Amino acid sequence: MTPFVIAIILSAALLHAVWNAIVKTAADRTTTLGLVALGHVIPGAVMVLLLPLPSAESFVYILLSTVVHFGYFFMLGQAYRHGDLSVVYPIARGIVPALVGLWALLFAGEWLPLQAWGGIAVIAVAIQLSSWKALRSGVGRAALGFAAGTGLCISVYSVVDGIGVRLSGNTLSYWAWGAFLHLFIAGFVGWRKRDTLTRLPARVWLLGLAGGMVSMTAYGLVLFAKNFAPLGAVSALRETSVIFAALIGFVFLKEGNWMRRLGAAVLVALGVALIGLAV
What is d(CA 11, CA 203) in angstroms, rounded to the nearest whole number?
Answer: 26
Residues 6+ apart with CB under 8 A from 92: 76, 79, 147, 148, 150, 151, 154
pLDDT at position 45: 97
pLDDT at position 186: 93
The Cβ of residue 111 has, within 10 Å, a number of other Cβ atoms equal to: 10
Report how many domains make up the chain.
Answer: 1
pLDDT at position 73: 83
Give the sign of the dihedral formed by CA 165, CA 125, CA 77, CA 31. Answer: negative
pLDDT at position 133: 65
* End-to-end CA separation in angstroms for the chain: 5
pLDDT at position 139: 64
The Cβ of residue 194 has, within 10 Å, a number of other Cβ atoms equal to: 9
- Written in H, E and C, the secondary structure of 79-99 is HHHHCCHHHHHHHHHHCHHHH
Q: Which domain holds residue 196?
A: 3-278
pLDDT at position 226: 94
Instruction: Write out the chain's pLDDT in tens, 279 residues.
Output: 788 998 999 899 888 878 777 776 666 777 888 899 999 999 999 999 999 999 999 999 999 999 999 998 888 878 877 776 666 777 787 788 888 888 998 998 888 888 988 888 888 888 777 666 656 666 677 878 888 899 899 999 999 999 999 999 999 999 999 999 999 999 998 998 888 888 888 888 888 899 899 999 999 999 999 999 889 889 888 877 777 776 776 676 666 566 776 677 778 778 878 887 776
> Do 240 and 10 contact (CB within 8 A), yes or no?
yes
To the nearest 10 degrees (0 to 180), the angle between helices 56-82 and 29-50 is: 170
Alpha helices in the chain (DSSP H): 3-24, 29-50, 56-82, 85-94, 96-108, 114-130, 132-136, 141-168, 171-180, 183-192, 194-197, 202-225, 231-238, 241-252, 258-278
Residues 126-150 as b/e (b if ≥16 CB within 10 A, e otherwise) read bbbbbbbebbeeebeeebbbbbbbb
pTM: 0.84
Residues 6+ apart with CB under 8 A from 135: 87, 90, 91, 128
pLDDT at position 103: 92
pLDDT at position 80: 72
